[in-house]
Structure 1
Amino acid sequence: MSYGFETLAIHAGQEPDPRTGAVIPPIFQTSTYAQDAVGAPRLGYEYSRSSNPTRDSLQECLAALEGARHGLTFASGLAAEDTLIRAVCQPGDHVIIPDDAYGGTFRLFAKVAERWGISWSTAGVSNVDDVRGKVTASTKLIWIETPTNPLLNIGDIAALAGIARDAGALLVVDNTFASPYLQQPLALGADVVVHSTTKYIGGHSDVVGGALLLNDDEVANQLRFHQNAMGAVNGPFDAWLTLRGVKTLAVRMERHCDNAEQVARFLVAHPKVTQVYYPGLVEHPGHEVAVKQMRRFGGMISFRTGDPVEAERICNTTKVFTLAESLGGIESLIEHPGKMTHLSAAGSALEVPADLVRLSVGIETIDDLLADLAQALG
């Protein structure tokens, strides 16, 4: 029997505890496990870096939500990304990344993977021809975000999957902004989905984590080996907190989207705002693709003011929107990407506009959010 998204979020990998009947699976806060005999661990559990029942529950749940056969979780989104790179790439391989990638992803490729012998190029994820033109004989990964962070560009996952197949490469989709509730890249042809579970999946700004979801058995085995060998796993309490958060993902995302749509319309009409980036707007260049592959358009909005000083002033003036990095929590956040989340890209081809403001629209009362932006914009 197949189940709906909300049912899977609450039940997949989360059967009541068989010993006590506890409805919520327990936190297995242990580092090691008693064995019945030498080389005979119970249920395969030996050491919690290698496997832990709470982490297994989270991995099973996230795989179900993304329609994947395999799920692996990590200590952070970047830990997941690093494990993927080292599991599938070798020195001499080439990777294509977005030309407006998340600053941490850019830093990982430019400052870490490049020193290990991985070359990389940038391409606009919304420009299929640009991506195709950057493919080389050594391209191993086509790595996209859709929507991108922070400019909310939209990549056509199905079209880019075709390019990756033709090149003998893997299409990796960072699905953090959309969450599995709004978009399921594997069903559109992607090979691997990446999440910072810190964001919408956890949803409460109280736990850091990452995940990789995929269907390929061979690649999954490589990833499991590296997950254990490199050891950047999430602890059982972090896994439990993330499971707690994911149960309400569907209802939270609906409210994030409701609020963000109203905020986007408010910003479009405001005289001090020169440009709004939100794929739910019909004038957004990626709107038609977003309609095709997303359930709704998410809670992330970026906008420009035409003046870097004014952009910083707005960030420093809000009262309900908290000035902070990260995104995807129940509370609304505001930030200046150029000096905060994307500072690592300063001076590079991925540098973001200095007058850009990014909003993570939370689930507060919408009238309070609009009033706060109105007073901050002045």
Structure 2
Amino acid sequence: MPLGDGTRAVHAGLPEAVPGQPFLPGPVLGAPYHLDPVAGPLPGVDGYGRTDNRTYRALESAIGELEGGECVVFSSGMAAVTAVLLTTLRSGDTVIVPQDGYYLTRAFAGEHLPDRGVTVATARTAGPYPSFDGVRLLLLETPSNPGLDICDVAGLAAAVHERGGLVAVDNTTPTPLGQRPLDLGADFSVASGTKALTGHSDLLMGYVCTRDPELAATIRTWRNRTGAIPGPFEAWLAHRSLGTLDLRLTRQAANAAAVTELLAGHPAVRSVRWPGRPQDPAYGLARRQMRRIPGVVTFTLADKAAVDRFFAASELIFAATSFGGLHTSADRRAQWGDDTPEGLVRFSCGVEDTADLVADLRQALDAARI
């Protein structure tokens, strides 16, 4: 029977029930494993920790179930996205990366791919897009980080595929419960599992999912050759955290809806973006394309000094550069070199009581206006 998001998240990747065993077995901590002294390494039997570990295979099974494809986990989101870039692109190829997406993805592409003979072009998430003639890979991030613009994944994927290219979607912000890029025609769904997917702000993780067996094999071989594997304890923590994903996303989205209404009417705020708000320019496409809206909101205060006052006055909002965690956090993006206004804040709603969060945000905004 069809299962709901909460049920799928709780049961994803768990082994068959065995009396006396835990629901989720603990992490397997090993570098070398015993080999058959005569036959040597055997298929399906762990031989060496860089290529074989049942703990991260269980996590791959779980994420693969939620994304709807074969999953390869990595030590971080950057390790995952660079694996896609460096395995799909060759000298003479062209890649398009988000002009308004995660800045380190754009920085890596601009600093390292041209030396390999790859032409790097950029496009804003909401468009317009250049011609896809000769484009080997289109990398999208939707919603974009930090601007929260959205693009039509299905339409762009069809246009790129018609010209023989591939499409990858950074699915970090929505998670597979909020959006399934492979269902929309993307060849890769790539994400940082550090953020909302695991949600406890206690590990680094990344992954790539695809439905193409050859692409999956290439990505897995790259991971094994470069050694960008997650630690088994981190993989176990990530799998443990998936069980509450639906609950966390539900509360975060409810908090985002309440926070956005306050922000939209507060005199200290110059602009606000959240695709779940009917007045947002991305609302219509978000409703059609996404399964749920994440709890990340972007707003702009007057300047850096206003943001400084905002943080000083808040009692609940942590200053942190990640997002999607249990704790509400905020980040002034210009401090990292993002091409954004000095007062732009990426605000990640946690799972605190909505009334408490709204009250704290209101008094922080009042202080920012002074």
For the aligned pair, the TM-score class normalised by the smaller chain equals: over 0.9
Please tell me whether residue 214 in structure 1 is matched to residue 215 in structure 2: no
Match of 1:60 in 2: 61
Q: 1:246 aligns with which of 239, 242, 246?
A: 242
- State the Cα deviation string for residues 110-129 of structure 1 (Å, max 9, x = none): 223333332211112222xx
Counterpart Cα distance in 2 of 1:14 and 1:269:
46
Cα distance, 1:355–1:221 mapped onto 2, change above 3 Å: same
Whether the 8 Å CA contact 2:319–2:329 is kept in 1: the answer is yes
Match of 1:199 in 2: 195
Match of 1:122 in 2: 122
Match of 1:376 in 2: 364
Match of 1:95 in 2: 95
Whether the 8 Å CA contact 1:158–1:188 is kept in 2: the answer is yes
- Pairwise CA RMSD: 1.7
Match of 1:46 in 2: 47
Counterpart Cα distance in 1 of 2:131 and 2:302:
32
Whether the 8 Å CA contact 2:71–2:208 is kept in 1: the answer is yes
Q: State how 1:150-161 maps to structure 2 within 5 Å.
A: 150-161=146-157
- Aligned pairs, number: 365
Corresponding residue SS for 2:246: helix
Corresponding residue SS for 2:182: helix
Counterpart Cα distance in 2 of 1:316 and 1:229:
47
Cα distance, 1:304–1:282 mapped onto 2, change above 3 Å: same
Counterpart Cα distance in 2 of 1:136 and 1:10:
43
Whether the 8 Å CA contact 1:17–1:26 is kept in 2: the answer is no
User: How much has 1:109 moved relative to structure 2?
Assistant: 1.0
User: How much has 1:20 moved relative to structure 2?
Assistant: 4.7
Unaligned runs of 5+ in 2: none
Aligned sequence identity (%): 35
The code of the aligned residue for 1:357 comes to: V
Counterpart Cα distance in 1 of 2:255 and 2:275:
14
- Which of 265-274 and 160-169 deviates more? 160-169
Cα distance, 1:285–1:72 mapped onto 2, change above 3 Å: same
Please tell me whether residue 147 in structure 1 is matched to residue 120 in structure 2: no
Please tell me whether residue 71 in structure 1 is matched to residue 67 in structure 2: no
Counterpart Cα distance in 1 of 2:88 and 2:282:
30
Please tell me whether residue 227 in structure 1 is matched to residue 223 in structure 2: yes
- State the Cα deviation string for residues 118-159 of structure 1 (Å, max 9, x = none): 2211112222xx22x24241x111111111000000111111
**What TM-score, normalized by structure 2, do the two folds share?**
0.94
Match of 1:348 in 2: none
Corresponding residue SS for 1:95: strand
Match of 1:83 in 2: 83
Cα distance, 1:232–1:373 mapped onto 2, change above 3 Å: same
User: How much has 1:40 moved relative to structure 2?
Assistant: 3.6
**What TM-score, normalized by structure 1, do the two folds share?**
0.92
Corresponding residue SS for 2:44: helix
Match of 1:110 in 2: 110
Unaligned runs of 5+ in 1: 346-350
The code of the aligned residue for 1:150 comes to: P
Whether the 8 Å CA contact 1:323–1:334 is kept in 2: the answer is yes
Q: State how 1:197-346 maps to structure 2 within 5 Å.
A: 197-340=193-336, 343=337, 345=338
Counterpart Cα distance in 1 of 2:158 and 2:101:
21
Cα distance, 1:141–1:316 mapped onto 2, change above 3 Å: farther
Counterpart Cα distance in 2 of 1:180 and 1:290:
14
User: How much has 1:356 moved relative to structure 2?
Assistant: 0.5
- Which of 174-183 and 301-310 deviates more? 301-310
Whether the 8 Å CA contact 1:315–1:335 is kept in 2: the answer is no
Counterpart Cα distance in 2 of 1:322 and 1:198:
17
- Which of 152-161 and 117-126 deviates more? 117-126
- State the Cα deviation string for residues 264-316 of structure 1 (Å, max 9, x = none): 01100101111101101112111100000112221000101233432343234
Corresponding residue SS for 2:104: helix
Counterpart Cα distance in 1 of 2:119 and 2:239:
36
Match of 2:132 in 1: 135
Counterpart Cα distance in 2 of 1:109 and 1:42:
37
Corresponding residue SS for 1:330: coil
- State the Cα deviation string for residues 62-88 of structure 1 (Å, max 9, x = none): 0100111x1000000000111111111
Match of 1:13 in 2: 13
User: How much has 1:22 moved relative to structure 2?
Assistant: 2.1
Match of 1:359 in 2: 347
Whether the 8 Å CA contact 2:41–2:47 is kept in 1: the answer is no
